[in-house]
A and B are shown apart, each in its own frame.
Chain A
Amino acid sequence: VEVKEKMKIEEMQKNIRLHPIWQKDIPFGFQPGLPMLSVEQNKLCVSFFIHRAVSYPSKFEMFPPEYFATWVYPFKKMVRFFHLPFHSADPLSVKPVVFDLNDLAIQSYNGIYDECENAVLSWLNENDSRAVYRYQEYFDSAVGRLGLGSMYDRGKINVLYGGF
């Protein structure tokens, strides 16, 4: 049995940025936000808000998302892409969020990526969708701690864009 190795989030993001739609349509400087894992059509998917983010010496500002896109593992094929202001009559209306980059916030933020990598690995090796659901629960609580709960409201995202 082939054991898959952990896919680093950086590799995932690299695949995403190399996508032709990204190169052609996404303004330079926009970045994928936090990874939202889901299982759709029995396939592992990751969705990202795509938005601007600005760094200050000890703060980090995330602007409201401009795009929403979903990729299927190994995250080279895009299966969903929305330019949000043009997508819905009732778009996810959020304000920019600024959070202090204290140790706790950095730990919470990075914890999301660590858990995402673990969930992807569990899915690949055990085909275990429970790992993805556990990640979603972890995600909800971590974004809440970071003050990003309104931007990453999973219920709303599901209704508006599907998947998550």
Chain B
Amino acid sequence: MTAGTANRLFSPAEPAEALENIKQSLAEKRPIIPAGRFSRLGDWSRRPAFGADFVAAGNLNQIVEFNPDDLAIRIGAGATPAELNQILEGTNLFWPVRGVHLENRSLGAILNEGLSGDEVRRYGRMLDLLMGVEMITPDGRRIKTGGATVKNVSGYDLTRLCWRAAGTLGFVLNVTLKLTPNLETKCLAEVPLADPAVGADLAEKIILGRLGAESLKIIHNQGWFLTVGLGDFREVVDLRKERLAAILKEAGLAYEIYDDPGYYSRPEMVLCSSRTESARARRRDLLNMVRSLAGRKDGDFYLEADITGEMARFRSLPDRFPGVVVDDVNSAGPVYRQLKNSLDPEDIFFPLPLMTKRPE
């Protein structure tokens, strides 16, 4: 790492330009930091004397290939889910990895951070809707893997290489994504809760009762709420509303239904800031965490526990969550490092996450 030299920013508009930029950085052995459009690099990118090359995907946000009959689109990694869904307007298709928290994330960043949308239970993670990737490898090769077919088992599945790799295993140029036909209708049920434990029990009941909720969240934002997202054909949503009403009636809880809510996230819960922390855990652990937060003073924290998505986003908590149980076996780390050491032996691509200490 060339400490003491200035950072450089590349914003390639074409894959060939990105390749040229990255080859230049590799030749000069400067650390490469892949960045999205609204990247969370935050204060790191403003450090003047770090000497890294930031390669931003923001200008790589064009459609590369799109045929609605294929239920697939190939698009630059710098596009955001909101932009993608705008492109799809009028086609009867949409991209289901969406939510308030993803509004300003580029697709490449969502892939590299391993994020999920509000409707993860029904449609899966971005990884599950990723059909192909074109990327630049840590040794400067431009490779393409996968394509516009759901089924493809030819060779090693390199499409999944960058999932949660935080930009350490290459620079994503564009992605081929599986699209979904528009839902006929959707609604959001919001249940105010006096006690989070009641919400946790209800959430458990809804999952075990196979209500078919697309989204199930326990939210703390000036009070506790359970939100249940329902979307499908009209008849199915009506059926699910009836079943949900019966469950809530039995629990003696009032609720409100919002038709066509847009996202299942609550707009005021925009938690994409550098102060945001997130946790992944099993549903059971998230529910136990929610239960353990009972009695905490209102207003001292924000929480959005996505039970079906197995993810919690929280802000302004003075301490780490109590009650998130984590497994002490983690052998995936060494396997990943083995891969990283082999593909990027000089640790050029985004060395920061692998450092034990952030650069001063």
Interaction A to B: no
Interface residues of B (CB under 8 A from A): none
Interface residues of A (CB under 8 A from B): none
